[in-house]
Structure formats: C-alpha cells, structure tokens
Amino acid sequence: MVQYSSGRLDVSFAALSDATRRGVLERLGRADASITDLADTFHMTLTGMKKHVGVLEHAGFVTTEKVGRVRTCKLGPRRLDEETAWIERYRELWASRLDELDKIVEELKQKEIVNGRKKRD
Amino acid sequence: MDARSETELAPTTNRTTTERTSDRELVVTRTFNAPARIVFEAWTTPELFKRWWVPKSLGVSLHSCELDARTGGTYRLVFGDDAATQMEFFGRYIEVIPHSRIVWTNDEGGEGGPVTTVTFEEKAGQTMLVIHDLYPSKEAADDGAGSLDGMPETLDQLDELLVSLGATAARS
C-alpha cells in the first residue's frame, strides 16, 4: 500500500519540513523574488538560500530562471493540494474526535462544580 | 477566566492543529478549557473514552473498550458489532503518569505501528494536549497517517486518494 506515490510525497514532505522553506513558499505566493531578496528576507547567506531553493525546486514547488546575473524564483507547477488533502484527512479525524472529547471534558467540569457546591452546602 | 484580548472569537471551541513534524512523526495539538486531571480522566476511563474516541462521522461503533491505563497495562479496542468484520486495536501502556503523560504502543499492525505519546500541560486552568505519533520508519508513517487508525471507511477513502495521487504523479 505504501508504494503509490510515497516517493514523491517523501520529497514533498522533506521539502516542507523546514520552516524557512515554508516561509519561502509563502513569500513567493505573494510575489516572485530573487535569491538575494529571499536571502535578505530570511537573514541568510546566499549559499544557504540557494540550498533551500534547490530543495524546493527539486520537489517542484519552485521554478527559477536566470536573467542576466539575477536568478528569479517563482512558485512552481506543483501545488500543495496533494499534501494538504492527505494530512487534512488526519486532521479531520482528530478534530472531530477532540471536539467530542471537549464535550465530555466540559461535562466533567460542570459535574465537578456542582459537586463542589454540594460539598460546601 | 482571565480577560485576554484574543482576536479569535468563540473561546469555547479551540483549534486542533495537525503537523507532520518529520518523516516519522505526526503531532496533533489542542487546548481544553479544563484542568489536566479532567482531560486525563477522559483518556483513561473506558466509559468516558468510548464516548469520544470514535466520532459519529466515522460511522463505526466501538464495540468494546478495555483500558488498563497504568504503566505496563494493556488496552484493547474492538470496532464494529458484527463479529465477521470486527477490527481490533491493541497495545501496551509504556508509561502512565497521572494528569501528565501517557505513552502506548499500537501493536495491531505488527512492527509498523507507532508509539503514541500524549502529554497534558496545564496552564492557568487550561490544558494543552499534545498527541505525538512516532513511527518506526517513514514508510510506516506514510501509511499510518493516511490510514487514520485503519478505520474501514477512511481506508477506502485513503485508497481513493492514493490512487488519484498515483494517477497525478504518473501524468506529470
């Protein structure tokens, strides 16, 4: 069951597992940027940022184009939808489960308050 | 309650967050407006646990629920009322610290099962709950995260999703 497209998902998740790289995607979602812009925004060296962009590019989240001496980055053809849909299923289960738990917890809390009052009376 | 100027409305419904923090880990967090001992009680008392662990939207019933929630104790959950299609989930509590921490194994799937750690952190009358699944490998995590505890219906949905993902991957 694992094989479907898990290799591809691995690359995606590895690419998205880093806060800076997620930040870069968010930034590129607003506007294209050069590596220098991105390095400045995230207070990194050019080399460090090149590495991050390389990982995102490999995963298909970003494409880059060199014009003259400037390498411009933009969001790639790959979107986050697949990954989001996948993790969203997991979130839905936990969200509805924990909503139910919340009700029980409230109920227990109320019971405790009532019992506490009874004891005092 | 303290009067914090939260921009979020509806303080009674807290948000559930889910994150895959690494190849092998999935983390779910949620805050409850109650002390840790109450939230802990709902995790360790079978009569309470069975009322929330299987949300109605799953369409599966929890047939039986045995929790011996202490370090070294075991648990066993049986889903479905029909003996032929019942599914069992079981494992061992590695560590149980009242009102603070529960760690258990998920043994129904053999070696691929995660170790689940739940922590209860109380602050100003609220409890921050963190559910952390650590899988033995990233392949197991890929499988496990999607399988949603192996509920039959969601497994079907997962299969559909994976097939469509596979189709997408093959096209590109």
Q: What is the mean pLDDT of chain B?
A: 78
Spell out which residues of chain A touch residue B22, defining contact as CB-CB under 8 Å.
17
Spell out which residues of chain B touch residue A13, defining contact as CB-CB under 8 Å.
20, 23
- Residue ranges making up the domain that contains B24: 17-171
How far is B42 from B142, CA to CA, in rounded Å? Answer: 29
Q: Which residue among B20, B52, B162 sits closest to A4, beta carbon to beta carbon? A: B162
Q: Is the dihedral of CA A77, A83, A89, A95 positive or negative?
A: negative
Question: What is the ipTM for the molecules in this complex?
Answer: 0.72
CATH number, residue B46 = 3.30.530.20
Percent of chain B with pLDDT over 70: 74
pLDDT at A80: 58
Within its chain, how far is the Cα of B28 from the centroid? 8
Tens of pLDDT along B105-124? Answer: 999 877 878 999 999 999 99
pLDDT at B71: 97
Are A70 and A13 part of one and the same domain?
yes
Helix (H, G, I), strand (E, B) or coil at B72: coil
Determine, for residues A4 and B53 on separate chains, whether the beta-carbon distance falls below 8 Å.
no
Are A63 and A92 part of one and the same domain?
no
Q: How far is A67 from chain B (nearest CA, A)?
A: 27
| pLDDT tops 50 at residue B154 | no
Put simply, the chain B residues between 56 and 75 with a CB less than 8 A from any chain A CB are: 57-58
Determine, for residues B32 and A102 on separate chains, whether the beta-carbon distance falls below 8 Å.
yes
Q: Which residue among B18, B22, B142 sits closest to A91, beta carbon to beta carbon? A: B18
Put simply, the chain B residues between 4 and 33 with a CB less than 8 A from any chain A CB are: 12-14, 16-23, 26, 28, 30, 32-33
Q: Which residue among B32, B131, B143 sits closest to A1, beta carbon to beta carbon? A: B143
Q: What is the mean pLDDT of residues A11-32?
A: 83
* Range of lowest pLDDT (A4-13, B48-57, B68-77): A4-13
Highest mean pLDDT among B12-21, B51-60, B96-105: B96-105
Tens of pLDDT along A39-91? Answer: 999 999 999 999 999 999 988 889 999 888 889 999 887 665 655 666 777 78
| pLDDT tops 80 at residue A33 | yes
| pLDDT tops 50 at residue B11 | no
Are A67 and A97 part of one and the same domain?
no
Choose the mutation target among A12, A101, A114 for the interface with B, i.e. most B CBs under 10 Å.
Answer: A101
Q: Is residue B160 part of a domain?
A: yes
In total, how many domains does chain B have? Answer: 1
Residue B25 β-bridge partners: B22, B134
Are A35 and A63 part of one and the same domain?
yes
pLDDT at B144: 64
- Residue ranges making up the domain that contains A84: 80-121
pLDDT at A39: 95
Are A56 and A96 part of one and the same domain?
no
| pLDDT tops 70 at residue B146 | no
Q: How far is B109 from chain A (nearest CA, A)?
A: 13
Are A51 and A97 part of one and the same domain?
no
Spell out which residues of chain B touch residue A105, defining contact as CB-CB under 8 Å.
32-34, 38-39, 42
Q: Which residue among B57, B146, B166 sits closest to A96, beta carbon to beta carbon? A: B57
How far is B52 from A103, CA to CA, in rounded Å? Answer: 9
| pLDDT tops 80 at residue A4 | no
Are A97 and A119 part of one and the same domain?
yes
Tens of pLDDT along A84-117? Answer: 666 777 788 888 899 999 999 999 999 988 888 7
Question: For residue A98, what are the contacts with CB-CB under 8 A and spacing of at least 6?
Answer: B16, B28, B30, B52, B129
